[in-house]
Amino acid sequence: MNIAYAFLLVFALIAGTSALFYKEYVEALKLAVYVVGIACFFSFEDEERKGIARKLLSICLVAGIVNAGITIWQYGSMASWEFSPSTIRLYRPDGIFGDSIISALFSNVTIAVLALGATRLKAPVRIIVILLCMVAGVVTGARTFYYLLVIVGAYLMLAKTRDVSLEKKALLLCLMIAVVAVVASPLGQSMIDSLTFQDTVSSRDIKRQLAIEQFGNSPVFGIGTGQYAIYEASLGMPANSGLHGTNPHNVYVQVLCENGLVGFIPFVLGLICSLWLAFKRKNALAVVLLVIYTAIGWSLGILYSIAFTSFFVVFVCSLLGTSED
């Protein structure tokens, strides 16, 4: 087992102990699932790990196709198959994960797997599935889908152009910069706004501010795993304020708030070491998946989403866990 997973296990131990201390048994169980998943994976021999990686790759593709199909079907059922900016903003299908943003996120993951993974699907089939996932991502009305799609597209462009001439690389780089500039421009933002549901931005800002304030009150050990939601609910804010007892919608702020520096440091070091290991192994798929997860953590409390994160953790372990550990 390498140092990246060791750091993440240390974090899970700290956060899990905190959850048990505060009687947050569900959160402790989620963390235990992540730990057991990693431990079980590393209990296999190297050849068995490679076999597991292939099977997980297949499972990811099947789940991605099923999720995309169900997401589109849900949208069609609610919107009577009317595709317009207004209906996309109104109806937010949640796919097989029960959350529209995670459904959009998994569409991005599936696209990355199809583009960078060693699958047996023929090129025409890959293109069809990628288009299906793109439609599913759009109809979720999640802004996150577009930002992550730019990340996947940019990394795919870099990964697939290693052997091209310097002139073509420069041209592709300019094109990539132009796409990012358009997305970040007022015009690009207005286009995304027309197709996405906009949550109350101020409520998310307030959530993060409240979490940081609580971290300031207990910077070493934090206020306890699962305690931010209880604190937010205790404020008794109006229902339309968006402050009704959920996570801060930022994994890093949440870990700082609930587990302090003691939990935050091994968590971040685990992510950094995982990225370094993926780059060292030149595993393009692992890199882009870790970048996706790291990016989504700034706007979504994905850490305790058991349906997605448990699969994600073991999947990335399978991509990196070989005899070179």
Going by pLDDT thresholds of 50, 70 and 90, the confidence category of residue 183 is low
pLDDT at 200: 46
Cβ distance 100 to 92 under 8 Å? yes
Q: Give the residue-averaged pLDDT of 189-205.
A: 60
Q: Does pLDDT of 198 surpass 60?
A: no
pLDDT at 239: 66
Computed over every residue of the chain, the mean pLDDT equals 82
Q: Which residues of 82-112 are buried (b: 16+ CB within 10 A; e: fewer)?
A: eeeeebbeebbbbbbbebbbbbbbbbbbbbb
Q: Give the residue-averaged pLDDT of 218-223.
A: 94
Q: Does pLDDT of 325 surpass 60?
A: no
Going by pLDDT thresholds of 50, 70 and 90, the confidence category of residue 128 is very high
Q: Give the residue-averaged pLDDT of 176-205.
A: 61
Q: What count of other Cβ atoms lies within 10 Å of the Cβ of residue 124? A: 8
Q: Does pLDDT of 324 surpass 60?
A: no
Going by pLDDT thresholds of 50, 70 and 90, the confidence category of residue 173 is low
Q: Where are the domains of the chain?
A: 3-320
pLDDT at 179: 61
Q: Does pLDDT of 195 surpass 90?
A: no
For 266, the token pair is 């091994």
pLDDT at 178: 66
pLDDT digits (tens, 9 = 90+) for 102-115: 899 899 999 988 88
Phi and psi (nearest 5°) for 296? -70, -25
For 39, the token pair is 């431990």
Q: Give the residue-averaged pLDDT of 142-171.
A: 71
- The alpha carbons of the chain give a radius of gyration, in whole angstroms, of 20
Distance CA 203, CA 17 (A): 30
Q: Does pLDDT of 263 surpass 80?
A: yes
* pLDDT-wise least confident of 123-132, 161-170, 201-210, 311-320: 161-170
pLDDT at 136: 93
Q: Does pLDDT of 194 surpass 60?
A: no
Distance CA 294, CA 155 (A): 14
Rounded to the nearest angstrom, the gap between the alpha carbon of residue 203 and the centroid of all alpha carbons in its chain is: 21
pLDDT at 56: 86
